[in-house]
Structure 1
Amino acid sequence: MTSMTAESVSTILVSCKQTRFHIETPNYRELDIEGLNITVTSGDVPKSAKARGKAKVSEGTEILNNAKLRLKAGSRYAVVGRNGTGKSTILRAIAEKLIPGIPEKTRIAILQQTNGGEVDVTEAPLGVPKAAEGPSVLDHVIDKATAKSELEREINGLSDGVNGSDPYGALRALRNLRHERMQKRLFVLDKDARLRSGARGMAARKALVDYEKEVAEYAVLMEQPEDEIPSDALQAETQEAADLLAELQLQVEPSRLADIESRAKKILVGLGFTDAYMKIPASSLSGGWRTRSLLAITLLQETDILILDEPTNFLDLLGIIWLQRYLQSLSADPSPENPPPTLLVVSHDRDFISLCTDLLIIKDKTLVYFHGDLALYEASQSEKRRYLVKMKEAQDKQRAHMHVSSSPDSFRVLTSNGRQETIRHNMAQGRKADDQNKIRQAKSRQKRLDERTGMNVSAKGTRFKLNRDMVGYFTSNRAEIEIPPEERGVSVVLPEPTDLRFPGPLISLEGVSFSYPPPRGSKASSVTPTLQDVTLTVSMGDRVGILGLNGSGKTTLIRLLVDETKPTKGTITRHPRMKLGYYSQHAVEQLQALCPPPDSPEPPLTALSLMTRDVEGALDEGDLRGLLGSLGLPGRIASDIPVRKLSGGQLVRLALARILWKRPQCLVLDEVTTHLDYETVTALREALRDWEGAVVLVSHDRWFMRGAIEGLREDEGEDEDGSDGSEADDEEMRRRVVYRLRTGRLVKLEGGVQEFEDLMERRVKKLLESD
């Protein structure tokens, strides 16, 4: 079975195996797809390929090859894979039902990964949106999630016909509605015919042709003159229109709509919307808030499979924890009438994906499944490899020194230490001398050796039994011990900062306050300062974490630190020789804005050419390639691939390279983990934890903050000496502190990240209890 979808930029080609069982007994919340192949091609698919219904794999980038896609109903899957492995492509293929075997009636809701578009308004008061018109945020969310406007349009059309004075009005309204629905059905049949091949494809195409004739005939019926309409047909269709109108009106009855509105409000409140902000026009929302409204629409839909691609982008910790608990609550009290959806989540936040029951790992163009969380998977893989190495070493030793004969007439050849040489040597000697007895003896010993070596356990982990685990004829009784290669982890190397020459704080804020200009027509005295009396010192080696909800003033504080804005009150001093590296939360969008359009005569901008332009001769090409390679942009990725075609994670690495080439003493990072895969987040966490310079970090990622700022190791456990994961001498020279910004005031959290998380957990509990 093959399907494809075309865009202006790329085309997704999908094929898989399908059985009669998959078609005739669908479970709408489960998927069981064998032999799944997904390829992404650039540009349009060749006409010859379209005629065949497929394209050659070599014409594009292969994402999956002969993979198994198996989702259990009601399970929660964390989709894991490095940047560029095709996570978003696979999820999109599922959501758009490009994969043959997904029933057309399966309801799939998806939140696709987004950069948020415009600059977020998290620092601006929620009650001051941009001027706009249109439905409110609440109405917009309800309409998009329930197709309310489409339903009301159908009701209004039928109502005008049924209640009008024209005796043929109800019939005309009914026929118009039927024709619209037939057109939608025709689209589904056309898609079904394109997705199938073989006998089922032939049947699907026949059904499509038959239905096209039916639609054409009904189009003629719609143009039937009134004097040719039989009276019995008029009466029957008028009554049918009235019955259908009553049925549709039941779907918008006040009690049902009130329940939907109540659910929508609870979701929006959980995602950070105030009552006042729900009433503003949806078109006035900027990037981050628009993303939250899309998430609310996705969560409000009635669905069998729920797909969330980076849902925590632009959520603060309160929203992240609320979303965790909300998704978990869907499975808390399942009922036959409202079973929980099957959940697929992509997120770089390791603490967030702990809500998932299973891992779906995209690796080596296939799908690997694991029941448990990420930490357990990594531990089990490490333990499995150690076990296999130990087993193979023991059996290699046994094979080398096994006693294959005790007869004095045996053709043994002893080494200097008395140990017997390999069976292969005996076999070679027997063949050389044409000694059949020695050859038979060597083969017999080889058989005994095969029976005693190889895997000692079955694929299910039980003790190996030949008659159960190796049914049939095989050249060897047991599978060879194959040790998986050690995975090459992502490496992030931060260049050492340059020498300051003389000591002193890098940045010092004393009694700093900041207020945005008051809205036109209001009094300046009525404006609440965004920051109030902030005092903060950052010295070499310090680790400073800043936590707070959206709108608390974090971005304003960052802008003051990096000298993008000036304080309204107080003083800010900086070390005269300090070099500062600033990563903005909008760095990815800023890089994309630098790229010339695809149809521009200018040469495409690559990572290497951009860096060459930035450094202005301060570094040569070799140095630039070394820096880009240390951040995960090696070779042709840096020099040949245009920046506009880089993934989100690769753009983050490029943005880091643009600030690290100067070897700054202080890094100010604002939501740097957005767009990164979990392996790169882990590598960056480790690099920042031990770097010699100072780090100021704003992030909602608790796991990342605990490592980079508080110094916890990857396993987040304790060292053998009982320390908290940081070395004693490191603690002596580093200051590790976490602050909370609340109503413009900076407060030190003595309990660190955990204290702030506990506060948010209590607030989420109250929100859920109020539901």
Structure 2
Amino acid sequence: MPAPPVISATCKQTRFHLLDDKPSNEVDVQGLSILIGSADQNSNDISSNEAASTKTKDKIKAKLKSKGRELVTDAHLRLKGGRHYGLVGRNGTGKSTILRAMSEKIIPGIPYSTRIAILQQIGDEDQSGHTRPAKSGIENEDMTVLQKVMQSDEAKNNLSQKIDILSAAFEDTDDTFNPIRASRQLKHEELETQLCLAQKNASLRSGSRGLQARKELLAMEAKITASADLLCQSKDDLDPSMFQQETQAAVDLLSDMQSHFEAIRIPDIEREAHNVLRGLGFSEDDFSKSYSTLSGGWRMRATLAGILIQNPEIMILDEPTNYLDLLGVIWLETYLKRLRESSETTLILVSHDRAFMDAVCEETIILRDQDLTYFRGNVSAYENDRKSQQLYWARMQEAQDRQTAHMQDTIRDTMKQGKKTGDDSKLRMAKSRQRKLDERMGIEVNAKGGRFKLNRDLAGWHSTRRDAIEIPADEKAVVMSFPDPDLTELRFPGPLISMEQITFGYPSGSRGLKRAGTGSGMSASSTTTVPVLNEINFSIYPGDRLGIMGLNGSGKSTLLKLLVGQEKLLNGRGTISTHPRLKLGYFSQHSAESLRATGIAEPELSALALMMREVGGTMAQGEVRALLGSMGLPGRIASDVPVRLLSGGQLSRLALSVTLYPRPHLLILDEPSTHLDLDTVHALASALVSFSGAILLVSHDRYLVRRVVEGKVRGIQKNSDDEDYEEEDDGDDDDDESSKRWGVACKRAVYVLRKGKLVEQERGVEQFETSLEKRVNKISYST
């Protein structure tokens, strides 16, 4: 299996950073550069921290550049204590890698004692498929859900392990030297940690600070040597007074650690763990279940609960809503807003859910063009401000262009008249106006927003030229283009798929609980069924836009699997009819994970090679490249980057390409926005709006359902007085006409699957959202 990528970080302030043992919820690092390179090439360890002792930083940076790519260059990473930040940027720009560099203290300037809790987007495995080792002493398969959550705090776990080691040494009455041996071992391990930090400090500093750091390193090495010698001593090497003194020191050490552990207030943490788990959808009975039996989505919830109860200095949540249903999203939104008021924890959040980001975040960090910029406001405020700035500067540029054209005409006429009549005054006037045109055209406002004055705003400068007007440029828009189906292939009218009186359930124990994935305790003779769907009547016609929402475990995925034929109607009754000429495209919520597993199994497999294998010769390579390019995987990304190294968003685009290449008449999409960034979700919505086939969308993303199913541009309520409300009209009229050719009106409807029944929502997403907000308020009140 290939080694994981190596991350390296350097900054301007490196030599001035102190060996600080005081945790901080603030970060201020200037001149930050982060590079990611492959460890498979030549060197397996080229991190700047270890190589800096023999190489200059510039040489290290050049070496890493040749092996990988730079994510940020000369950026300023600034976090204020207690603020909630939203980090935005396109898929593949390195958001997750930068957050990982922060959490692992690869970035210089973050105190090593600062507690950083991170929920990573990919869960327990990194992008290369390497499973991260468990951080607690209890093996994962032996953990209950509650134990997993309680064991998530690494600092508390380390302290608990030290107490257990020292306590066990005192309990061994056969060997009275055991407490001294254990105490010495714990102190030696602490010295080794300090030695690593001293080595890092000495390698990064220069000048007088470097000299002092090297002296401290020599002193620390002497302590390590002395400590190692103590570990080799036996009981016979100690006189009685020293034996008694060290035994008392071990007793004092154990007492101090126990006092510190008691100060953590475990009962309060356990009570908070119960509250958070309930808020994230676990029941009381689930707390004692084995963590290893949970499905991937429920494991992520348990991991998220472990992050939320830690109260660290810095909390990093990378796509926490990926596996949450809408009830969980609204609960987490409420929890984080309360955290902002009651805690000094600094939060960095990455999410594709626009409504969630807007509600939680106070400031926005924009990762763009290998730089970090900041905006005081949420994502929507940032986008509105950027549009306003573009309009403001565009109008100023337009007005100045008109003024410049008028002055040029005047100069030309004055010059012509002066030459014709020999009037030197006119010639001087023309030259004066030309000088004014050359020097005084540009920005007409100063840094404070007032009117620009030359003698005040450029006082003392030799040049009198103003800065040119620059209109803020947008990133190249994300565009997705779905190939339209050939509806004439259907040949005759009728529903594409219909379900009549569908009642379905799983044999008791075969499905297990919704959180347990596969139930291991099922007996072969079990005949009772657990009901999932109850008398479902559902039809999809050409051109329909239908959405299904509901809580996790309500049976949405089961319903889709029955529709696409992945689940057989053996344990139920009813009829499922499919148009005999239907081409169906199905995007599963696990499509990206399946492709990642394929990429790990075949490390050299590229997206282009995978697609060529999928199409099986039905498309030429140029057509496959065009399809991948239309989905946002152009050129070398498709042909040269292994599938295992694609980001989550890129894997989702690849999965969509696999779904769309047959040009299906009906798209069934199960959580297609997972792993996508905000811009890509917008592009996906636009592509779905323009798609001429029928769409069945299952999603917790309120924006996506409102835009695609309800036909709203910005997801604003139809009855709202907001002037920004608009009905979507780009492509929907064509959909209506194509469906009416079969004598059926195009239908738009949002359903909620609840207690096995599909219930149409008269007010769409708003109705479902309101009901969930009431439930969240009840949960919050009861806890």
TM-score range, shorter chain: 0.7 to 0.9
> Is residue 574 of structure 1 aligned with residue 578 of structure 2?
yes
Structure 2 partner of 1:292 = 301
> Is residue 17 of structure 1 aligned with residue 12 of structure 2?
yes
Separation of aligned partners in 2, 1:525 and 1:27: 58
- Map 1:226-245 onto structure 2 (within 5 A): 226-245=235-254
**CA apart distance, 1:161:** 4.5
Once the two structures are superposed, residues 145-204 of structure 1 have per-residue CA deviations (whole angstroms, 9 ceiling, x without a partner) of 255553333223333455665554443332232122222333333344455556545543
Structure 2 partner of 1:540 = 542
**CA apart distance, 1:361:** 0.6
Separation of aligned partners in 2, 1:579 and 1:489: 30
Aligned alpha-carbon RMSD (Å): 3.3
Q: Contact between 2:505 and 2:530, CA under 8 Å: does it hold in 1?
A: yes
Separation of aligned partners in 1, 2:23 and 2:191: 26
Q: Which moved more, 1:297-306 or 1:455-464?
A: 455-464
Number of positions where the alignment pairs a residue of Structure 1 with one of Structure 2: 726
Structure 2 partner of 1:331 = 340
Structure 2 partner of 1:667 = 667
- Map 1:247-326 onto structure 2 (within 5 A): 247-253=256-262, 256-326=265-335
Separation of aligned partners in 2, 1:376 and 1:667: 33
Q: Contact between 1:547 and 1:738, CA under 8 Å: does it hold in 2?
A: yes
Structure 2 partner of 1:658 = 658
**CA apart distance, 1:401:** 2.0
Q: Contact between 1:76 and 1:344, CA under 8 Å: does it hold in 2?
A: yes
Residue 508 of structure 1 aligns to a residue whose secondary structure is strand
**CA apart distance, 1:30:** 1.2
Structure 2 partner of 1:556 = 558
Matched letter for residue 688 of structure 1: L
Structure 1 partner of 2:491 = 501
Separation of aligned partners in 2, 1:164 and 1:42: 49
Structure 1 residues 394 and 736, CA gap change in structure 2 (3 angstroms): same
Structure 2 partner of 1:618 = 618
Matched letter for residue 492 of structure 1: M
Structure 1 residues 531 and 254, CA gap change in structure 2 (3 angstroms): farther
**CA apart distance, 1:247:** 2.4
Structure 1 residues 640 and 227, CA gap change in structure 2 (3 angstroms): closer
**CA apart distance, 1:533:** 0.8
Q: Contact between 2:86 and 2:365, CA under 8 Å: does it hold in 1?
A: yes
- Map 1:411-426 onto structure 2 (within 5 A): 413-414=412-413
Once the two structures are superposed, residues 530-557 of structure 1 have per-residue CA deviations (whole angstroms, 9 ceiling, x without a partner) of 1111111111111111111111101100
Q: Which moved more, 1:574-583 or 1:717-726?
A: 717-726
Q: 1:587 aligns with which of 580, 584, 591?
A: 591
**CA apart distance, 1:253:** 4.0
Matched letter for residue 461 of structure 1: G
Structure 1 residues 169 and 211, CA gap change in structure 2 (3 angstroms): same
Q: Which moved more, 1:306-315 or 1:250-259?
A: 250-259
Q: Contact between 2:586 and 2:669, CA under 8 Å: does it hold in 1?
A: yes
**CA apart distance, 1:664:** 0.9
**CA apart distance, 1:239:** 2.6
Q: Contact between 1:45 and 1:55, CA under 8 Å: does it hold in 2?
A: no
Q: Contact between 1:154 and 1:177, CA under 8 Å: does it hold in 2?
A: yes
Structure 1 residues 88 and 440, CA gap change in structure 2 (3 angstroms): farther
Residue 341 of structure 2 aligns to a residue whose secondary structure is coil
Residue 102 of structure 1 aligns to a residue whose secondary structure is coil
Matched letter for residue 31 of structure 2: G
Q: Contact between 1:400 and 1:421, CA under 8 Å: does it hold in 2?
A: no
Separation of aligned partners in 2, 1:204 and 1:44: 33
**CA apart distance, 1:698:** 0.9
Residue 466 of structure 2 aligns to a residue whose secondary structure is coil
Structure 2: which 5+ runs fail to align?
127-138, 510-521, 737-744
Q: 1:144 aligns with which of 137, 142, 152?
A: 152
Structure 2 partner of 1:98 = 106
Q: Contact between 1:11 and 1:45, CA under 8 Å: does it hold in 2?
A: no
Structure 2 partner of 1:409 = none
Residue 69 of structure 1 aligns to a residue whose secondary structure is strand
Structure 1 partner of 2:508 = 518
Residue 705 of structure 1 aligns to a residue whose secondary structure is helix
Once the two structures are superposed, residues 239-273 of structure 1 have per-residue CA deviations (whole angstroms, 9 ceiling, x without a partner) of 33222222222344499221111111111111222
Q: 1:110 aligns with which of 103, 118, 135?
A: 118
Q: Which moved more, 1:31-40 or 1:452-461?
A: 452-461
Q: 2:530 aligns with which of 514, 521, 528?
A: 528
**CA apart distance, 1:457:** 1.8
**CA apart distance, 1:757:** 1.2
- Map 1:11-160 onto structure 2 (within 5 A): 11-18=6-13, 23=18, 28-43=24-39, 50=51, 51-52=54-55, 53=57, 54-56=60-62, 58-59=65-66, 60-114=68-122, 134-145=142-153, 147-160=155-168
Separation of aligned partners in 1, 2:15 and 2:498: 70
- Map 1:678-693 onto structure 2 (within 5 A): 678-693=678-693
**CA apart distance, 1:462:** 3.5
Separation of aligned partners in 2, 1:232 and 1:453: 87
Q: Identity rate of aligned residues, in percent?
A: 46
Structure 1 partner of 2:132 = none
Once the two structures are superposed, residues 648-701 of structure 1 have per-residue CA deviations (whole angstroms, 9 ceiling, x without a partner) of 212211211112121111000011111111111001112212422111111111
Separation of aligned partners in 2, 1:230 and 1:468: 81
Structure 1: which 5+ runs fail to align?
1-6, 119-130, 334-338, 406-411, 415-419
Structure 1 residues 421 and 319, CA gap change in structure 2 (3 angstroms): farther
Structure 2 partner of 1:382 = 387
Matched letter for residue 329 of structure 1: R
> Is residue 351 of structure 1 aligned with residue 363 of structure 2?
no
Separation of aligned partners in 1, 2:602 and 2:218: 40
Structure 1 partner of 2:567 = 565
Structure 1 residues 180 and 722, CA gap change in structure 2 (3 angstroms): closer
- The TM-score, its normalising length taken from structure 1, stands at 0.87
